[in-house]
Structure formats: structure tokens, C-alpha cells
A and B are shown apart, each in its own frame.
Chain A
Amino acid sequence: MSLATTSAASVASSSSSSRAVAVSPPSETPLMPEPAPAIGSPGDALSLLYLFEDRDQDLGVEEGTSKIASLQAQRNQEFQKETQAIAKEDEAAKHRSFWDNLGSLFSDIAKVAGVVASIAAAVCSFGAATPIAVVAVAGAILSSASLADGEFHILQKLGVDPSIAGDIDLGMSLAGAACSMGAGMAAAGQSVSDAASAVSRVGSAASGAATVVQGASDVEAGEAQSDEERADADQVVAQAQSDHDLRLMQIVIDELQSADEESKQMLTTIANAKSTLDQTATDVAISVRG
């Protein structure tokens, strides 16, 4: 059996078939390992799968509950940060000067750059802090959505040009920019942290440039303006992080709900398949005995 060997080749077959070569290239080695010999027959696999699926319903709910609780706690923390940032901003706003408008344009640039940097920070922290299961959930969602809607449809829905998919990570749209932004880059030879650092540096550079220009007006506006700037940036970052967590939580909740339904359907399908298998075995035994 040569699974994972032919499909990629078939996509490219039209371009390679015309090549005349004296020595044939090495054959494509299967990348998917064979299943363990102990579970060689589909019947065994179905039996075990049935048992597992039955138990996994409870397990899934338990794991999901703890995952949601963890995300909820994280969101609460972000909410507190956000509230503090808003309070700081309100305080700073009381001392705003007439010169604020001059710096507003550059302030906007700084905000955008701040968000870019916060996304990069989220990518960095995602790998270490966020349950890896969320990446798996995002992968599963991407898979089911694209099989239901078609590849190009889903790419379009996610706002990704199909011609550049593979360079830009779809997980970014799925899980609030953090999920697997590094995946494409890492798979292309860069580490996740390198990729995130690069984005962060761009963000910081833009942020720095805006700060320099805004400095001219800050001379007149005084420290109050920069205090507000910082508070504002804090709020944007906190908001971005908070939104990100909320999206992740929503994905997990949605997925758990549909997983429960899918789980029930799958149990029925597996039970039916197993019943057919058992019936076939009985029929064969009866016919052999005469």
C-alpha cells in the first residue's frame, strides 16, 4: 500500500510527464506508516474504535470543560488589564492639551503598529502557553470546512488568495492570528520564534518611527499626551489579546458542541458497521457448517 505517495505526484504529473530522462528518479517513498500489526484488520479497529468513542464522549466533555475554564480565567485577567488601561487613559485624558490633534495621525500609526506587535507577541506566547489541542481543533475545523465548502471557497472565506496559500497560514484567520501563523514559516525552514520576532521587529520599527514623529508635538503636549498614548496602546494590546482569547474560546465551545453531535453519529455508524461485520461472520460460519 502506498498511501501519501501518489496525490502530490498526480497534481504535478502533467508537467513532469513530458520529461525524457535517461535515469528514472527515485521512487516516492510512502510517508504514512502502516498501522500496528496487532490492529491489522478493519474489524479489530472498529471494535476498539467503538469502545474508545463510547468512553471518549465523557472524556471530551471533561477536557473541554477544563479547557474552557482555563481560557475563561485568562480572559478575566485580560479584562482586568483592559479595565485598568481604560482607567489610566481616562485619567490622562483630563490633562490633554490643544496639541493633541497634531499627533493624532502618528498616534494611529502607532496603534496599528502596536496591534501588529501584539499579534506577534500572541504568536510567541501561543506556542508555550496555549493548549496545543487548540491548534488541532483549528486544523480539524479547516479540514471539515474545506471538505464541506470546497478548497477555494474556504480560502476565499478566510480572505486568503489561493495563489499565495501555503505562504500565509490559514490558521491565522481561524484562530485569531496566533494559531499557526508560524506553521507555514516554520515548515519553510524558519522557527516560529524567528518568524514572530521578525513580525515583532517590523511592528516595533513602525511604532518607533511614529513615536519619533509624534515626539515633535509631544514637546508641546507634554507628558500627559505620552501617558495617554501608552495607556491607549496598552488598551489596544489588551483588547487584541482579549478578542483573541474570546475567539479561541468560541472555537472550542463550538467545536465541543458539534463534536458531541458528531460523536453520537459516529457511534451509530461504527455500531452499524460492526453489526454488519458480525452478521457477515455469522453468515459465513453458517454456510461453512452447512
Chain B
Amino acid sequence: MNTLQASHVEDRSTPGRARAIEAIYAAGHHLLSQERPRDAAKVFRLMLKVAPHDERGWLGLGQCHEKAMQPHVACELYGAGSVVTANTGTASVRCLLARARILKALGRDPDDALQAADEVAYELDDEELIALVSNERRRLS
């Protein structure tokens, strides 16, 4: 099971709820792809309330703020997302990587966030995530 699946377990307790969460995410994703970050933000905020452990809500909302040129707010959301998802047993590698990216973009040191992502990816023994972190390290170095 990869991190993404692991972080969704709790929120997908019933089929109806799981479908609703997928629908919310799909709607937010669609709005973001249409370059409507403010509308997408409303949907992702709803997703945070319905499925706070789902890393995709935090990633989506952070992305809305990045598109709205609010990198500091995005940075905080990725940070909170990585902690909240950690409550399920594994921190969100993707939230940590998103935070590393934004820190780098803000001229700050992304190494600690990358290191944390690296540790979690190895702990999970997830090849996809390990490769993702490795790629990110080379890209941001």
C-alpha cells in the first residue's frame, strides 16, 4: 500500500462517503485545471472538513494559494497537512515535498523537509515515493 492509499483508509469507511470524497476531489481538481483557484479553494476547504486525513485536500488547497500568489499560506497548509496526515500513522510525503518546493521558491532551505520526506518514504518502503523524493532532491539541489 502506498502513502496515498494509506492516508485515505480512515476517510473511506463507507462506500457512500468514499464516493463523496472522490467527487469533491474531482470537482476541486477540475476547477484548478480550469485556472479557477478561488472556486477550487472553496471545494478543497470542504474536503478538509470532510476528510482532514486525506493529503489531497491539503495539497489541493495549498496549490490554490500558490496559484493565487500566496506562497506563505500554501507553505503553512502543506506543513499542517503533513502533520494531520501523520495522525494516520504515516506523514504525507507529498505534503512534505510540496513544502520543500515552496520553501526553495521562497529562498529558504528545503533540506529539512526533504530529509523528513526521505525518512518517511524509506520507512514505508514505497519505491514510487522513494523515487519521487530522490528526483526532488536532485531538482532542488
> Is B one of A's binding partners?
yes
Binding site for B on A (CB under 8 A): 1, 3-4, 7-9, 11-12, 15, 25-29, 31-36, 38-40, 42, 44-49, 51-53, 56, 60, 127, 132-133, 135-140, 142-144, 146-147, 150-151, 154-155, 162, 165-167, 169-171, 179-180, 182-184, 186-190, 192, 259, 262, 266
Offer 8 A-B interface pairs, CB within 8 angstroms, sorted by A: A8-B71, A9-B105, A11-B102, A26-B138, A51-B20, A136-B57, A151-B71, A166-B103
Shortest A248–chain B CB gap in Å is 15
- Assess the B82–A142 pair: CB atoms within 8 A: no
- Assess the A180–B104 pair: CB atoms within 8 A: no
- Assess the B19–A186 pair: CB atoms within 8 A: no
- Assess the B83–A182 pair: CB atoms within 8 A: yes
**Which residues of B, 36-78, contact A by the 8 Å Cβ criterion?**
38, 41-46, 48-50, 52-53, 56-78
- Assess the B41–A7 pair: CB atoms within 8 A: no
Which of chain A's residues have a CB closer than 8 A to the CB of B67? Answer: 7
- Assess the B26–A36 pair: CB atoms within 8 A: yes
Which of chain B's residues have a CB closer than 8 A to the CB of A49? Answer: 20, 23-24, 27, 43
Give the residue of B30, B75, B87, B97 whose beta carbon is less than 8 angstroms from that of A42: B30
Which of chain A's residues have a CB closer than 8 A to the CB of B13? Answer: none
Give the residue of A35, A147, A259 whose beta carbon is less than 8 angstroms from that of B68: A147
Shortest B57–chain A CB gap in Å is 8
Which of chain A's residues have a CB closer than 8 A to the CB of B23? Answer: 39, 44-45, 47-49, 52
CA distance A198 to B89 in the complex (A): 23
CA distance A61 to B71 in the complex (A): 33
- Assess the B84–A135 pair: CB atoms within 8 A: yes
CA distance A227 to B16 in the complex (A): 58
- Assess the B76–A165 pair: CB atoms within 8 A: yes
Give the residue of A45, A144, A169, A186 whose beta carbon is less than 8 angstroms from that of B91: A186
Known pairs A11-B66, A165-B75. 8 more at Cβ < 8 A?
A4-B59, A9-B101, A29-B135, A154-B73, A184-B79, A186-B79, A262-B42, A266-B42
